[in-house]
Structure formats: C-alpha cells, structure tokens
Structure 1
Amino acid sequence: MSKTNMSNMDKLFQSLHQRRRPEDVAQLILEQLTGRLNGQQKAILQNAAQGSLKQRFLTYTSMLEDFAKPVGLARQVAVAGNLFNIPPLAADQCDNPTLVENYIHQVNQQIKKDFGRNDFKAHRLNHEAREAAGMDISRRRYNKLFRILTRMEAKLQTLINEWKKLELTKIGKSGFSSRITWEMFSADKNSACFIAYYVARCNLRSEFTIAGQQRPYDEIADMLFSRCQNSSTTNWWAIAHVYPDQNVLLHLSDEQKGNLLGKWFSVLQEIAGLLKETWEKSKIKRETMVVRPGNDSSTWNTMASAWNRARDHWVALIYALGMEEILDKVWPGKVLRLMAADVVAWHYRSGGKLDPNTDVWKELPLSWEVLAGTSTCTRQMVEEVCHKHGLDPEKSGWTTPRPRKIVAKFRPTPELVHGVTIENPYLATFLRKAGVFSGKHIKNPHFH
C-alpha cells in the first residue's frame, strides 16, 4: 500500500515502529476521531496537533522520523555475486539476516566451505582436497574467495547484533510496542489512538538538560486514556504491552498477565547476559557512572534503558498477579545509565550533586547477578540502602512499580542537535551536518 493510500489507522500503526513527532501523531488522531470528540477533548488534542507539520507554517523537521536501521550487506553480496557468478539478493533483502545467511550458505557450496568454519589456517581445503572436490581454481583465487566469505560471516554477525540492539532500543523506549500486531492494534480505535500517541511520547529523544527528560504521560495521553476507561470495547491487552499501569493490568486475565510476565522475564534474561558481557570488558566507574574514554556509552545506555523498562513491566505484572512476596527474597535493582561529564559538571555548577540513585546502585549487588542467582538482594536490602541515601524506595521505583500518577503538561517537541535544542529546523540540519555539538572536529557541511 502506497503512503498516499494509507488510512489514518495504517499510519498510526506504522508510527509504532517509527519516531514520529507526537504533534504529527496527534494530527492523525484528530482526523481519525473526527465527530467522536467533545469540545474539551478536541481542544486538548489540538494543543498538540497545532504543532504538526500539516498545520504549521514550516512543514519541515530536522528530526529523523525513523529509528536508524542497521547497514546490511548489499555491497558484500554484490561483490560475492560477481565473484561466484551467483545472482545477488535484492538490495532490501540484504538487510535481512536470515536471507543473507541463506545466501552465504549457497555461495559457500561453490568452494565447499562449511558455515562457521572461518579459521584461515585450520579450515581451508588444501590442494588435494580441492581437487577431490572438483574445484579447478588456483590456490590464490581460492584463498581470496575464502577470505571474502569469512568477512561476510563476520559482517552478518555484526548485522544480527545491530538488529538486536535496535530491538532493545525500542524496548527501552516504549516497551513491546513493536510486538503489537495489526490485529491487536486495529481491534479498537480508542485503544489504538492512546497507544500511538503514548508510544510517540516515549520515543522522544533525550535532551541535554539537568531539568529531567519529558514525561511521556502528558495531558493529551491522559485524555486519550480516559476515553479508553469510559469505553466497553477497549483493548486492554494491547495497551498493556506499552503501559503497565495497575488500572490497565486489572482488566487482563491471569493467563494474559502470566503471558506478559514470562515474555518480560525472557527479555530480562537476555539483557542480563549482554550487561554482564559489556560490564566485564569495560572500565565503567561504578561510583559516579560518568562516561570515561573507552566506555561504549551508547551500547550500555541502550541496554540499561531496556533493562529498566523490562524490569518495570515485570514488577508491575508481579504486583498485578499478587505475587509480590517473591520479591522479598529476589529483587534485581535498576541499572543506571552512563552520564556525560559535562552534564554532571553542569549539575554541580548549578548547586546540585550526584544523583542519589547512583549511591544506591553502587551499594547493591549487580542486577544481572541477582537475576542469575549468583548474588543475593532482598527487598529489605534495597529499602535500607535507599533510606541510607535519602531516597523513598517506593516513590523512586526501587521497590514498587514505577509511579504513574503524574500528568505532565504538553510541551512541543524540540528540534535537537545531539541533545541541544535549536529553534529553527533548517538551522538544526545545518549544524548537524557541520558536526556542531557532536564532540568531533567541525567540518564544512555540503548540501546537495
């Protein structure tokens, strides 16, 4: 279906996999719910929609509307297609790890190479083995083809890891939004509208600030959620994938709660392994969690965000099932993100101090070790450490589901260049191309 022929519901569903501005999603919702909104509801929604690209004078934004996709193996497949005389995959198929792996298996057959056996000394065929296999090629050409295939397998593994990282990025932002099917989404329009807007708010990019990031649940989300609460056809199962409020979960059956509980625990297990691996090969300073040279802050923060989101959903479901007593003995804590040194310095210059959550984090056993059972952390331990550093363990989300009572005031989506707000979107594009605020050497931008 072409973009111009897509219905508003199609576009709203598509937005779950994108980073559309909340204003533009609000505009789609305004059109979708035409005739169904009362005056107050329309005014609340219009407060956001008036900033949409459709309504404002500048019909341009410098912010990408999609998550950055992993770079596939189009170039490598094209080279292999020429060297092995095998028709290459289509360009869009080269982004699909499964299709690429199947293609490599097919190409491997031409030089009798086994997938996964990539040691240049141990796994190549010698002259006699090549003759026995009926390969009439020189050793030099065979070596060249072998190297190309080993590099393709290495690149394939990178592609798989990048897709996994993208999935964790989406989970860290908006829970299981990417796992909501069209059937679930389209079953109820009020539910779909709330989900689409709330996900758009969750997917907002982080700002360079000490005032805290925007809360996703704002007055527009609250109005849309109220419509769901007042409807008899609301799809609470779909909403629970992104918004695990107790008022949502009480509408689910125990089977549905258990289903989500198991899925979120599986996600926690996967992230735990990745956190452990990253922690062991990094030199993260746990006492401050300030980025230092050699720290892969992007990967760490992606996994930390995914862990905290998964943990939040998991804990909320445990409470909804009335099973919170199990947390008395096993309580994996939150994982702190790495902070930029200039943001921390800004905090101190403004009279602030290190986030007390950092003090709690550094004293508790590592979260992934608790989940694996190699370290012990109980609710009492968490409460004692929180109180020691002046934190309310419940309000701070250390011992209960994250509080969801605050309704934020809507604030227009800023045009950001590496987290810094720029008023004009065209200027933002210019500065981004020039490398301003990136921490790198500024280059001259070229526009084509």
Structure 2
Amino acid sequence: MPFAIEAVWALVTSSPYSPECAAKRAHQARLHPYVLDSTDDGLGEKSVHTTPHTSGALVITRPTGSVPPQRHSLRWRRWGALVACTALGIGLSATSASADSAIFLDPSGEEGTIPAIDVVRYRVSLDASTIVSTVYFSSWDRATLVNALSRTYLHVSASDGNFMLEKVGGSESAVLVQVIDETGNTLPVPGCPVTVTFAPAEKSVAMSTSAACLGTPSAVSAYHYVELGDSFDYADSNPFGPSWNVSAGPQSGLGLPIVTVQRFWSQAYNNAHFFTADGDEAINIYTTDANWTYEKVAFSAYATQGQACATAGLTSIYRFYSPKFESHFFTSSAAEMNSVRANDRNWNYEGVAYCAPTDTAAGTAPLFRFWSARFGKHFYTADSAEAHQLRTADPNWAYEGVAYNVLN
C-alpha cells in the first residue's frame, strides 16, 4: 500500500474534525436581490423581499489559477489537501443526513487505475442494526476484485473512534478492525463478523457488519480505498475530510447521489466567498491559489444527471461567470437563467452546478441569502446561527430571505 494512504489515515485518526477552518475567518458575504414572496424564513420571522434584479442569485469572484492539472496529479493533490487539513486540524466537519442511506459519485477513468477497480460511486447505509458499505465499479471482473485490497474507513465520533472494514488481497472475506492509536495501528473487533457480497449485475462489492460493533452510532462517515499492484482508486465525497455523514433513521431523501459544496473566503477579492460542488475545482483552488482560504463544508446537495436535474423533486441551480466582473452567480430560477442568457452579454452560462430539493422535508434546510451594498457581494449560508449573527450584529448585510433548500 502506498505510504501516503497510511500517512493520511494516521493523520485522520488523530485529528479533531472541527466545524470550521483553523484560518482567518470573515463571515461577510453576499446575495442577489430578486423578488421573493412573503414567506417564513426559517429564523422565526416573516419578511417580504423586493428589489428585482437580473444578475442571478449568488455573486462570487472567480478564483484565479491556471488550467486544471491532469487527473493523476489532481488525485495526489486530493491526498495532499487531506494531509494538510488534518495536520492543521482544519474544518473537516460534514453535514449529516436525516436518512439511513446516501449515494456518492467518484470520477471514473482516472490515471493510475484500471476499470475493474475504478470506483464510480458508493453507498453508505446505516440503521439501528447494520452498517453497509457498497462500492460500484466501472467494469466487472470478480477475480480482479478478489485479488484486490479493499478498505472502507469509517469515522464514527471522537468517543467511539475510527474503524475499518478490510478485505485483504486474494480473499473473499473481510474483517472489522478498530484504529487504536495515532500511527494507524489496528486491532480486530471480536464477535463482529463481516459479510462480503459480490453482485455482478450491479458491478458492486458490499461489506456489512453490526452497527453495535461501532458503538451503535447515530451517524457515520466514510471513504474508500482499493488497490491492486500499482493501480489504486480512492473515493470520497469530501476532499478535505470524511464524507457527508449518514445518520441512522428512516429513509427520507430521494435516494440520489449527493455532492458536498465547499466554501472558500478571499480577503484579496474584497471579502468574497466562493462555493463549489466540484471536488477537483476545490482541490485546485486549495493547492494552487493563495488568494483563497478554505473555510468549511457549506452544505450538501444532489448531483446533476449530466447537465440536468430531471428527477421529480429537484430544481436546477444554474451557474454563470462574468469576465467583466470576475464573478459568478447562481440561480434556481429557470426564467432568470433564460433571461440572462438571452439579454446580458456580461454573463457566460457555465451549466447546472448541482440540484436542490424542491420541497422542505426532513434532511433539508433553508439556504439563507444576504446582500452587502458596501462590499458588492452576496452570501449564502445554511447555518441558522451564522444567519442570525449577520442579521442582528452586522449592519453591512441585508437579509433577503430563503434562496432554496439544501441538504443538512
């Protein structure tokens, strides 16, 4: 196994997953003013928002930087970012789901891997009795998967510790081990057999064990590593730490792939924030652009299906970029998107960034929107305490209401 894998795991197991980056913070940001109805804002108040505008929902300065690197180097930058963040104790917390199962996507065809161990998506399922990790591959070759080393790293809590489901190369069985120290040493968890299921129709391998063996956690996050010879693949939904947490409880989500939206801040760009659901873009900014400081996971959302959000219960979040203003904006309004594309040459359409849940339901949260005339910036936050702080203690920011729903 490459040394980097062991080094990262040692750092992860010893690092506090604090809720925000250990770096200079500035909770100033922005939001786009367009008409919203009088609605309950989720903060215990009703408000009417006017000020029509045509430039979108969220304005952020485009990060500077060059063309993204090749996939192989980018994969190692993901490792580097994880090492750096964990070493510094930076904001690695992830929002949790109010559902017992979540699906995450992973890039396919990366340099350094082969189709038979190329992870394309994975599912983490948790209920009161069982934890299940299912990994889906680009192609199916049972013999190759049997010969491969496969590990699912499970982060439970500071008190319950960290665990690992491990299938060694050449075996069809797996074990559950607990990480016992900062160097990554492990011990088998007695009385906790692991069931391994090979499913050729789904091109997947699942490992499951009793949730009680992990201390019957209320939530768990995970990432995956598969290795065969010089080939390997690493799958996570959050390049700066463990994946989005999956909580034990009734299934309440849509059962669709989830993406993590990362948040950056820049003093150089006049108190700007940048939000991205693209893990490679986040790593590029983190590793190559000193103008941007990583802050934390902003929220989670559903992944696009191609360049669309065609599933019932989803709304598209459209992204534009302006070379003139060196900024982005995001909008959930199809009418606004069409109007900007047709009538405003200052903005270039970049596609659907992610999908937002249409309805307010368990596992969702309102995304609060602010605008600052002083900074000429907009800001989104799903953190009600942060929103309350801006509304009550910072006159630079005007509250504009709930933009749309996100996953919390």
TM-score category by the smaller chain?
Answer: under 0.3
State the TM-score, normalized to the length of structure 2.
0.24
| Structure with more of its chain in helix, by fraction | 1
Q: Kindly name which structure, 1 or 2, has the bigger radius of gyration based on alpha carbons.
A: 1
State the TM-score, normalized to the length of structure 1.
0.22
